[in-house]
């Protein structure tokens, strides 16, 4: 079987999965990553979000064979043990209850702030629309993203 | 072989665990090779070491028999233990929810983590301090009353330079003494020692805004979630669900999945599952397997027909019968008399939908069943009860089963969390290998136990002065106890019923606690028969603030309706009808903070597309008191309602962690708004049609409030109350009251979706 190669967090991996396998299953099962998580398998909640060439992508519906760019995951964000500014902001604001969805909010916020570090409150709400947090930590997430924006700008 | 808790702790290299050692014990626990027939006895509540242990390096571990569903409970418990032990809080670790390592404290239930769960920990920690101080005095060569404790050390009062650390005192040995156990299991379990816990005035750690210890790992992606459990040789499984609620599998075509290497079918009575070596293969096999199902006749009333169905269906139980052993607990005669003699009777029916936990991730379970024993990994709220249920299902003694709790997707009662672990246990036993069952989004919404739909009927008899001479409340709905709040027996799960266990025959709804004191009051409930008797997607169970969201929606709207009908300020009417000072305090605090204006409580007359209004509501329960003022914007053209600003005043007694309680209240507000605005399980004649986030929407980020203000009353003279539910309960009513204030339209059915509000506005 033709092997697929993907670059994840700066390292190239040859993976054994069939080409139709969603990226999420490859990241979790073959690469044993824990950041992106299964939530719906339907691209409706965002818990599986990764960045591909800086764009937020729902890995649960993206076939591994369609992944051409560099993949960044939550697992690879902290540089030298130092959390990414968005992670640091989410920690400072304690923006989670169960924390299961945090991956989606953090990765999507990074994609947004790398493009638009001066995102307004309305833009933040608009761009993070569609991600799901079931515990209802929306207010803390908004504070965290605003804090991250202030630090990254 | 008997693998008791003590051997586990010893084999980790020391009796104890710490910040670094805690990682060690966790990996030991997770990586334990399961020998056949190994025993997992219960830790004895009577041993002080069951609750607290001290490592050589002085690190303390407290063993908590409940679990934290993400509300900061572990941090709060660590604060309480550190306080009693005179320790820095960061030197106290918490082990939670593992049935081998923790006593059965009942799991996460009824916002009881602090108000009940902390009590034995507090008492045990105080007793441990006493024992350590005694032993320390002996080691220091002074009398018992000549020492004090601070910073994890015992010191000589007259010469504090003479001191010895707790770790040195015990030197790896157990505390070795007993505490008095009240012989209860579950939430009421308590132990007491000779030591008396500190008085609140002496608190240094409790009451401080300590950072939540679970947060950094959650953001860094290093939390030990259940979904990350990967056992060697583990198979992946999916369960096949029927296209029609009551259908069961007749046969399947194995050839339809023959192209997937290693994929297999397990068909046992009404359980049909596929397993594969790789997860994606299990997903594909579940999609490809051709199944013949029975085709039972289905006649569910559907989403729009359900309220007429409830009104006309015979009551099968009430709080006079069945659930309370036939003891009638209410008498409606005086109320009927008062209503018959009233100058005016107000009546209103309130309609409450089925709602789903719809956890952010659907159920997961991993089971490793060997002949004679089993280890189960679950994110259930009640691991100790799941252990009993799975032991019964596997026909093993309870001490042959260990349930290891792991953090997971948020859960808000008896969710689907308890299901996949049972299914994994059955499949692992059948296949002789570890099995991981992952539910789909469809299952997590459509097959999750539901909050029951209900019609709440309210009547008030008014005299000619507008006074209230009679008050009637009837909650009639589906039983909230279709499935028990603890999965302590197989019939409390789908797979249990699929394998032939007979459905639990208990019935319960709810009536509110007595908030308003009116003459001739009656509050009672009735339940109707379930839509489907067995293994039903429409079965009901506890969902956060079980049945209280429904009953408080009716009560808190109706008191506003009475205020409107009698020309009174809804705040003034509530203040006059409450007798509990703590209710009055939160009402006053919230209305002061929100700038309540008695002259602005009639429906406003503003024109234009977007109009604003505000509403009030009150709640008491779980030892807490909460009052809310919600300000809404209603778009009269689209019907869209936005809760722009929410103000909360809450009294949960003594506050353990002021930062955490604020976060908990905020989460209650947003999830409560979600249930008020968005959430309704839809279904047709034969199946549930809420199957994902498009068909079961929750509150989107765009609709998060602009502002949540709060006043937390720290009542240091009162025991801590539960905070996990109170703020959420009455918010639906506060929104309805605000919509009425904005538009003059009374919404008596939630959720207040744009379509429903638009229809009401044009009616």
Residue B719, in any domain of the structure: yes
Question: Is there a contact between B438 and A38 if contact means CB atoms under 8 Å apart?
Answer: yes
Look at residue B3 and tell me whether its pLDDT is greater than 70.
no
DSSP B482-538: SS-SS--SGGGSHHHHHTTPPPP-----------B--TTEEEEEEEE--SSSSS-TT
pLDDT at B277: 97
User: What average pLDDT score do residues B717-743 get?
Assistant: 97
Looking at the fold, whether B261 and B161 belong to one and the same domain comes out as no
Pairwise CB contact (< 8 Å): A97 & B663: yes
Check residue B28 and give its pLDDT: 38
The CATH number of residue B255's host domain is 3.30.365.10
Task: Please check the confidence at residue B41 and state whether its pLDDT lies above 50.
Answer: yes
Task: Select from B400, B416, B439 the last residue of a domain.
Answer: B439
Average pLDDT over residues A117-124: 95
Residue with tokens 């929606």: B553
Please check whether residues A30 and A66 belong to one and the same domain.
Answer: yes
Residue of A nearest to B228 (CA): A34
Check which CATH number belongs to the domain holding A144 and give it: 1.10.150.120
Rounded CA separation B285/B276 (Å): 8
Question: Is the pLDDT assigned to residue B52 strictly greater than 90?
Answer: yes
Average pLDDT over residues B58-82: 96
Check whether B141 has a pLDDT greater than 80.
yes
| B17 pLDDT higher than 50 | no
| pLDDT exceeds 70 at position B325 | no
Q: How many CB atoms lie within 10 A of CB B288?
A: 15
Beta-carbon separation of B700 and A130 below 8 A: yes
Cross-chain CB nearest to B220 (options A21, A87, A101): A87
User: What whole-number percentage of chain B has pLDDT above 70?
Assistant: 94
Distance from CA of A86 to the nearest CA of B (A): 9
Which of B266-272's residues contact partners 24+ apart within 8 Å by CB, and which partners? B266/B237, B266/B427, B266/B430, B266/B431, B268/B426, B268/B430, B268/B499, B269/B498, B269/B499, B269/B500, B270/B497, B270/B498, B270/B499, B270/B535, B271/B239, B271/B423, B271/B426, B271/B495, B271/B498, B271/B499, B272/B239, B272/B240
Name which of B310-324, B430-444, B452-466 the model is least confident about.
B310-324
Nearest chain B Cα to A25, which residue?
A: B280
A53 and A31 inside one domain: yes
How much of chain B, in percent, has pLDDT values that exceed 90?
A: 90
Same domain (yes/no): A44, A61: yes
Kindly report the nearest CA distance between residue A69 and chain B, in angstroms.
22
Domain end call among A76, A104, A139:
A76
pLDDT at B18: 31
Question: Closest-CA residue in chain B for A94?
Answer: B215
In this predicted model, what pLDDT tens digit does every residue of B85-132 receive, in sequence order? 999 999 999 999 999 999 999 999 888 999 999 999 999 999 999 999
Is B2 buried (19+), middle (13-18) or exposed (0-12) by CB count in 10 A? exposed
Q: Tell me, what's the pLDDT at B328?
A: 66
For residue B699, give its domain range.
561-762
> Is a pLDDT exceeding 50 seen at residue B226?
yes
Write out pLDDT tens, residues B194-221: 999 999 999 999 999 999 999 999 999 9
One domain, residues A25 and A66: yes
User: Of A2-6, B302-306, B357-361, B572-576, which range is least confident?
Assistant: A2-6
What confidence score (pLDDT) does residue B245 get?
96
CB contact under 8 A, B705 and A139: yes
Q: Give the max Cα distance, chain A.
A: 49
* Mean pLDDT on A25-30: 98
B440 contacts on A by Cβ (under 8 Å) = 41
Is B458 part of a structural domain of the chain?
no
**What's the pLDDT tens digit per position in B501-540?**
999 988 899 887 778 999 999 999 999 999 999 999 999 9
Please indicate, yes or no, if residue B304 is contained in any of the structural domains.
Answer: no
Give the confidence band of A1 by pLDDT, cuts at 50, 70, 90.
Answer: low
Q: Are residues A71 and A9 in the same domain?
A: yes
Token pair 């607290």 is at which residue? B52
HEC-encoded secondary structure of chain A: CCCEEEEECCEEEEECCCCCCEHHHHHHHHCCCCCCCCCCCCCCCCCCEEEECCEEEECCCCEHHHCCCEEECHHHCCECCECCHHHHHHHHCCCCCCCCCHHHHHHHHHHHHHHCCCCCHHHHHHHCCCCCCCCCCHHHHHHHHHHHHHHHC
- Closest-CA distance, B338 to chain A, in angstroms, reads 44
Predicted pLDDT of residue B605? 84
Asked if residue B261 and residue B214 are part of one domain, the reply reads: no
Average pLDDT over residues B644-672: 97
Task: Return the pLDDT at A74.
Answer: 98
Last-in-domain residue among A76, A93, A122 = A76
Domain total in chain A: 2
Interface check B214 vs A, CB under 8 A: yes
Residues from chain A contacting residue B216 (CB–CB below 8 Å): 83, 91
Does residue B260 share a domain with residue B218? no
Specify whether A68 is located in the same domain as A90.
Answer: no
Residue of B219, B230, B283 with shortest CB distance to A102: B219
Choose the final residue of a domain: A76, A109, A125.
A76
Closest in B361, B692, B701 to A42, CB measured: B692
- Mean pLDDT for B48-54 is 98
Q: How many domains would you assign to chain B?
A: 3
**Do B115 and B261 fall into the same domain?**
no
Does residue A71 sit in the same domain as residue A96? no
Same domain, B273 and B418: yes
Q: Does B222 touch chain A (CB under 8 A)?
A: yes
CATH number at residue A30: 3.10.20.30
| Statement to judge: residues A26 and A68 lie in one domain | yes
Contact: B701, A131; criterion CB under 8 Å: yes
Name, in order, each residue with C-beta under 8 angstroms of B734's C-beta and a sequence gap of 6 or more.
Answer: B556, B615, B616, B617, B628, B629, B630
**At A3, is the pLDDT very low, low, confident or very high (cuts 50, 70, 90)?**
confident
Give the per-residue pLDDT at A152. Answer: 87
pLDDT at B9 over 90: no
Q: Is the Cβ pair A25, B215 closer than 8 Å?
A: no
Q: Verify that B284 and B158 share a domain, yes or no.
A: no
Domain membership of residue B305 (yes or no) is no
End-to-end CA distance of chain A: 47
**Domain assignment present for B255:** yes
Contact across the interface for B278 and A17, Cβ inside 8 Å:
yes
Contact B658, B712 (CB under 8 A): yes
A71 and A119 belong to one structural domain: no
Q: Which of B692, B698, B702 sits opposite A126 (nearest CB)?
A: B702
Residue of A97, A110, A119, A147 best to disrupt the B interface, most CBs of B under 10 A? A97
- Tokens 């001739």 belong to B520
pLDDT score of B27: 35
pLDDT tens figures, A70-116: 999 999 999 888 999 999 999 999 999 999 999 999 999 999 999 99
Residues B289 and B415 in one domain: yes
Shortest Cα distance, chain B CAs vs residue A99, angstroms: 5
Band (B25; pLDDT cuts 50, 70, 90)? very low
Domain carrying residue A139: 85-152
pLDDT tens digits for range B595-640: 999 999 999 988 899 999 999 999 999 999 999 999 999 999 999 9
Do B692 and A44 count as a contact with CB atoms less than 8 A apart? yes
How many angstroms away from the CA of A55 is the closest CA of chain B?
20
If asked whether residues A72 and A93 sit together in one domain, one would say no
The CA distance from A117 to the nearest CA of chain B, in Å, is 19
**Shared domain check, A70 and A14:** yes
Domain boundary among B439, B460, B492: B439
Are residue B638 and residue B757 in the same domain, yes or no?
Answer: yes
Residues A72 and A128 in one domain: no
The band of B292, judged by pLDDT with boundaries at 50, 70 and 90, is: very high
The pLDDT, as a whole number, for residue B16 is 33
User: Token match 């929810």: residue?
Assistant: B97
Q: Which residue has the higher pLDDT, B142 or B19?
A: B142
Distance between B288 CA and the closest CA of chain A, angstroms: 15
pLDDT category at B5 given cuts 50, 70, 90 is low
Do B139 and B42 belong to one domain?
Answer: yes
Shared domain for B176 and B235, answered yes or no, is: no
B745 and A CB contact within 8 Å:
no
For residue B667, give the nearest of A34, A126, A135 by CB distance: A135
Q: Are residues B679 and B717 in the same domain?
A: yes
Best B210, B674, B701 member to test A by mutation, with max A CBs in 10 Å, is B701
ipTM: 0.98
Asked whether B165 and B232 are in contact (CB, 8 A), the reply is: no
């Amino acid at each position: 079987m033709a092997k697929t190669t993907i670059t994840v967090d700066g390292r190239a991996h040859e993976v054994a999965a069939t080409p139709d396998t969603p990226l999420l299953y490859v990241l979790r099962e073959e690469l044993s990553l824990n950041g992106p998580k299964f939530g719906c398998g339907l691209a409706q909640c965002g818990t599986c979000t990764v960045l591909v060439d800086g764009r937020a992508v729902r890995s649960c519906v993206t076939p591994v064979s369609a992944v051409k760019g560099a993949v960044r995951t939550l697992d690879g964000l902290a540089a030298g043990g130092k959390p990414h500014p968005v992670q640091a902001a989410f920690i400072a604001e304690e923006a989670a209850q169960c924390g299961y969805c945090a991956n989606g909010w953090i990765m999507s916020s990074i994609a947004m702030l790398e493009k638009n570090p001066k995102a307004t409150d309305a833009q933040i709400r608009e761009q993070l629309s569609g991600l799901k947090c079931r515990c209802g930590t929306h207010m803390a997430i908004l504070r965290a993203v605003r804090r991250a924006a202030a630090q990254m700008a | 072989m008997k693998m008791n808790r003590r051997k586990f702790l010893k084999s980790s290299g020391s009796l104890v665990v710490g910040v670094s050692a805690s990682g060690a014990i966790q990996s030991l626990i997770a990586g334990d090779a399961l020998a056949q027939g190994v025993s997992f006895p219960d830790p004895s509540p009577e041993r002080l070491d069951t609750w607290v242990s001290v490592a050589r390096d002085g690190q303390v571990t407290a063993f908590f028999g409940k679990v934290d569903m993400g509300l900061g409970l572990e941090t709060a418990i660590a604060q309480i233990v550190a306080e009693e032990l005179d320790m820095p809080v960061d030197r106290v670790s918490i082990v939670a929810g593992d049935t081998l390592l923790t006593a059965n404290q009942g799991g996460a239930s009824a916002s009881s983590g602090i108000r009940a769960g902390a009590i034995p920990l507090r008492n045990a920690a105080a007793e441990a301090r006493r024992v350590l101080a005694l032993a320390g005095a002996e080691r220091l060569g002074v009398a018992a009353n000549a020492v004090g404790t601070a910073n994890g050390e015992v010191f000589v009062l007259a010469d504090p330079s003479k001191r010895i650390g707790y770790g040195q005192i015990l030197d790896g040995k157990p505390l070795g003494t007993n505490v008095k156990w009240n012989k209860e299991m579950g939430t009421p379990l308590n132990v007491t020692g000779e030591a008396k816990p500190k008085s609140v005035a002496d608190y240094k750690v409790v009451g401080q805004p300590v950072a939540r210890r679970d947060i950094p790992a959650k953001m860094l992606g290093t939390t030990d979630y259940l979904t990350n459990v990967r056992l060697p040789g583990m198979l992946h499984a999916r369960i096949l669900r029927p296209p029609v609620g009551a259908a069961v599998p007749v046969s399947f075509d194995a050839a339809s999945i023959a192209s997937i290497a290693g994929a297999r079918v397990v068909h046992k009575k009404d359980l049909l599952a596929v397993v594969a070596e790789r997860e994606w293969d299990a997903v594909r096999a579940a999609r490809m397997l051709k199944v013949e199902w029975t085709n039972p006749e289905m006649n569910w009333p559907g989403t729009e027909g359900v309220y007429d169905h409830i009104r006309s269906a015979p009551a099968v139980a009430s709080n006079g019968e069945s659930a309370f052993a036939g003891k009638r607990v209410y008498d409606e005669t005086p109320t009927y008399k008062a209503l018959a003699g009233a100058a005016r009777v107000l009546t209103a029916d309130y309609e409450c939908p089925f709602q789903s936990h719809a956890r952010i991730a659907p159920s997961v379970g991993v089971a490793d069943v060997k002949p004679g024993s089993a280890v189960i990994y679950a994110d259930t709220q009640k691991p100790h009860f799941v252990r009993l249920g799975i032991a019964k299902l596997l026909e093993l003694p309870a001490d042959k089963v260990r349930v290891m709790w792991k953090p997971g997707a948020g859960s808000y009662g008896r969710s689907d969390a308890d299901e996949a672990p049972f299914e994994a246990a059955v499949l692992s036993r059948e296949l002789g290998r570890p099995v991981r069952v992952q539910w789909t989004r469809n299952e997590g919404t459509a097959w999750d136990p539901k909050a029951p739909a209900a019609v709440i009927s309210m009547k008030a008899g008014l005299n000619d002065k507008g006074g209230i001479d009679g008050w009637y409340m009837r909650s009639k709905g589906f039983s909230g106890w279709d499935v028990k709040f603890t999965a302590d027996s197989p019939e409390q799960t789908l797979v249990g019923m699929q394998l032939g266990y007979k459905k639990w025959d208990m019935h319960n709804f709810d009536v509110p606690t007595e908030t308003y004191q009116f003459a001739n009051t009656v509050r009672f409930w009735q339940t109707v028969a379930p839509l489907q008797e067995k293994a039903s997607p429409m079965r009901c169970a506890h969902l956060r603030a079980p049945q209280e969201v429904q009953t408080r929606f009716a009560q808190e709207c109706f008191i506003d309706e009475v205020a409107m009908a009698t020309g009174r300020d809804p705040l003034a009417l509530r203040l006059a009808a409450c007798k509990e000072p703590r209710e009055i305090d939160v009402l006053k605090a919230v209305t002061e903070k929100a700038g309540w204006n008695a002259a602005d409580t009639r429906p406003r007359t503003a024109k234009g597309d977007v109009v604003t209004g505000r509403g009030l509501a009150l709640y008491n329960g779980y030892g807490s008191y909460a009052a809310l003022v919600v300000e809404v914007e209603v778009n009269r053209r689209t019907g869209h309602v936005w809760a722009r600003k929410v103000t909360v005043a809450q009294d949960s007694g003594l506050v353990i962690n002021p930062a955490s309680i604020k976060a908990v209240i905020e989460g209650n507000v947003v999830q409560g708004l979600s249930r008020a605005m968005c959430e309704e399980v839809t279904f047709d004649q034969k199946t549930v049609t809420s199957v994902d986030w498009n068909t079961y929407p929750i509150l989107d980020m765009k609709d998060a409030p602009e502002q949540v203000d709060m006043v937390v009353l720290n009542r240091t003279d009162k025991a801590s109350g539960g905070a996990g539910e109170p703020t959420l309960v009455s918010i639906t009513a506060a929104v309805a009251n605000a919509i009425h204030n904005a538009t003059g339209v009374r919404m008596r059915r939630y959720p207040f979706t744009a379509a429903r509000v638009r229809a009401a506005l044009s009616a």
